[in-house]
């Protein structure tokens, strides 16, 4: 059978196929390699983590960082070392349709530590004039996030603050430790606070020694009555360990390790907490030493291990009375 393609069209398709098959062909992607542990902010010749993030946010070269210009997705490679933040928190993904991955050399090797008072470590997709940019996707792997403390903006999330309709945060092979939210702020999620819609996925991470005064020592996930968030939220936490996290102070404290609340108008795409280990977490004056579920949607919480968690009520799991939804164990 004779081909219907003319010689010009055939030549085009053959050339395109050769391009697809070419080794190392890259399509609309950018890689930025961090090469200094100093917290440079536009000065100096190195490519700092802060500058690499700014480069990804703006798709331009910043400081000594090159590799931008290819567009999304961005991959930021962070080699082994301790990255002490001395300027401010790291602001990532503050524009629509951001897709950025931060890849470390391993949680024991790549340590990102906040040293500035009243600053979290990562602020992902911060609101601009109360509006959160949609379709922001961020992943972090092979890093430790530590030292975040008492943000002054009352949103919580000393380690990471994120969320918003259509957004996604994926944490894998990581550690989140030693982040604190003392009294005086909206104390939810000392390790990670995720709210307002979007999907939070955690796999094979270690959460330890994170402390919130009120809700969610390690993680707080809330999907509240936000019409824009309907059907656009979910949480999955798997194959991770939670050790010595706490929601410690008030009588309403809840969720020493994890606090989840999903209200009736929302339909989360997933609500799964499975194959994790919870040890020594506490809500000494409140509810749910390991996990508290105050929402109204069904949850899958199964194949987890609990040891030495403490609370006034529900040392392992506490499901608030009067809320709808069931726990599938």
Could you read off the pLDDT tens digit of each residue along the chain, which spans 329 residues? 434 444 444 444 344 444 444 443 344 589 999 999 999 999 889 999 999 999 999 889 999 998 877 778 999 999 999 999 999 999 998 766 689 999 999 999 999 999 999 999 999 987 654 566 678 899 999 999 999 997 767 778 999 999 887 889 999 999 999 999 977 556 789 999 998 888 999 999 999 999 998 889 999 998 865 555 455 688 999 999 999 999 976 666 789 999 998 765 656 667 899 999 999 999 988 889 999 988 767 788 999 999 999 998 899 999 875 455 566 65
- What's the length of the chain? 329
pTM of the model: 0.87
- Give residue 54's region: left, alpha or beta (phi > 0; psi -120 to 50): alpha
> 3-state SS of the chain: helix, strand, coil percent to 5?
10, 40, 50
- End-to-end Cα, the chain, rounded Å: 60
Q: How far apart are CA 277 and CA 290, in angstroms?
A: 10
CB atoms within 10 A of CB 323: 15
Give start and end residues of each alpha helix (H) in 121-273: none
């Amino acid at each position: 059978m004779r081909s219907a393609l003319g010689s010009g069209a055939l030549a085009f398709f053959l050339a395109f196929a050769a391009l697809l098959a070419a080794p190392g062909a890259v399509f609309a992607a950018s890689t930025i390699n961090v090469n200094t542990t100093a917290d440079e902010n536009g000065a100096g010749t190195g490519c700092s983590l802060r500058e690499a993030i700014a480069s990804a946010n703006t798709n331009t070269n910043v400081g000594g960082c090159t590799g931008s210009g290819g567009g999304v997705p961005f991959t930021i490679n962070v080699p082994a070392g301790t990255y002490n933040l001395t300027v401010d928190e790291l602001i990532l993904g503050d524009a629509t349709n951001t897709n950025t991955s931060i890849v470390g050399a391993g949680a024991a090797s790549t340590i990102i530590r906040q040293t500035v008072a009243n600053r979290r470590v990562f602020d992902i997709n911060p609101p601009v004039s109360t509006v959160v940019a949609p379709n922001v996707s961020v992943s972090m792997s092979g890093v430790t996030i530590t030292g975040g403390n008492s943000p002054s903006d009352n949103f919580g999330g000393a380690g990471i603050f994120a969320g918003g309709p259509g957004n996604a945060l994926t944490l894998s092979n990581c550690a989140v430790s030693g982040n604190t939210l003392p009294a005086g702020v909206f104390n939810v999620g000392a390790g990670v606070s995720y709210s307002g819609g979007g999907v939070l996925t955690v796999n094979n991470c270690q959460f330890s020694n994170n402390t919130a005064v009120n809700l969610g020592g390690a993680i707080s996930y809330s999907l509240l009555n936000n019409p824009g968030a309907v059907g656009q939220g979910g949480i999955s936490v798997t194959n991770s360990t939670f050790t010595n996290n706490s929601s410690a102070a008030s009588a309403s404290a809840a969720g020493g390790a994890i606090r989840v609340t999903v209200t009736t108008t929302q339909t989360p795409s997933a609500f799964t907490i499975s194959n994790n280990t919870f040890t020594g977490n506490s809500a000494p004056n409140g509810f749910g030493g390991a996990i508290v579920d105050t929402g109204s949607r069904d949850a899958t919480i199964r194949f987890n291990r609990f040891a030495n968690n403490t609370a006034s009520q529900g040392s392992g799991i506490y499901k608030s009375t009067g809320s709808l939804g069931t726990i599938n164990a």
